[in-house]
Amino acid sequence: MDFSKIYDEYFDRIYAYICCRAGYGTTAEDIAALVFQKALAKFAQYDPARGNISQWLFGIARNETNCHLRFSALRRFLPLDILQESLAAKDATAFETLSARQDTAVLTSALEMLTARERDLITLKFYSEMTNREIADVSGLSESNIGTILYRAMGKLRQAFVEGANGIR
């Protein structure tokens, strides 16, 4: 398999994962570059029998992001208002904009209440679009454990969102 094709296919997903964990900007770009630099250096040692290329790359990305967060003491989850504003339609009404910001504030607050492991799994599942099986291979947890943790974390988010929305109105 050609490494340039792998890079083209996976860069956006890897970069999105890193951005959600470490924030947008040069830091995420540096980590993403490091991930693919390490992958290229070890590409000859990649063994498809141990997992698919996606699992291998996300494992490297996860390790590099965790290393960066450890050494920089950056323990906050990406504020979702940056992502929300970039995805918002330019012609949104004032009410829609205010509502989206309130939802984002509640969601950001709810995400901060989750454990680091729960946030990491949510990032892998929803931002990187990985299956529970792929997440299990990357994280070392069982597939059913991943499902249970995600189910409970989503329940916590739902509850916090309901409570936050009721507090705003």
Instruction: Write the pLDDT tens digit of every residue in 126-156.
Output: 877 788 888 888 888 999 999 999 999 988 8
Three-class secondary structure of residue 85 per DSSP: helix
**Residue whose tokens read 């299956």:** 131
Q: Which residues of the chain have pLDDT under 70?
A: 1, 70-108, 164-169
pLDDT of residue 111: 76
pLDDT score, position 139: 86
Say what the pLDDT of residue 93 is.
52
- Report the pLDDT value the prediction gives residue 166, as an integer from 0 to 100: 58
Quickly tell me which residue has 């729960």 as its tokens. Answer: 118
Look up residue 89 and give its two tokens. Answer: 């339609």
Q: Retrieve residue 113's tokens.
A: 């209440």
Q: What is the pLDDT of residue 85?
A: 53
pLDDT of residue 63: 86
Give the domains, in start order, of the chain with CATH numbers.
Answer: 3-72 (1.10.1740.10), 80-168 (1.10.10.10)
Task: Return the amino acid letter for 92.
Answer: A
**pLDDT for the residue 107:** 66
| Rounded CA separation 130/142 (Å) | 14
Cα separation, 118 vs 141, whole angstroms: 12
pLDDT at 22: 80
Residue 157's nearest CA partner among 121, 84, 106, 85 is: 106
Task: Say which residue the tokens 């570059």 belong to.
Answer: 33
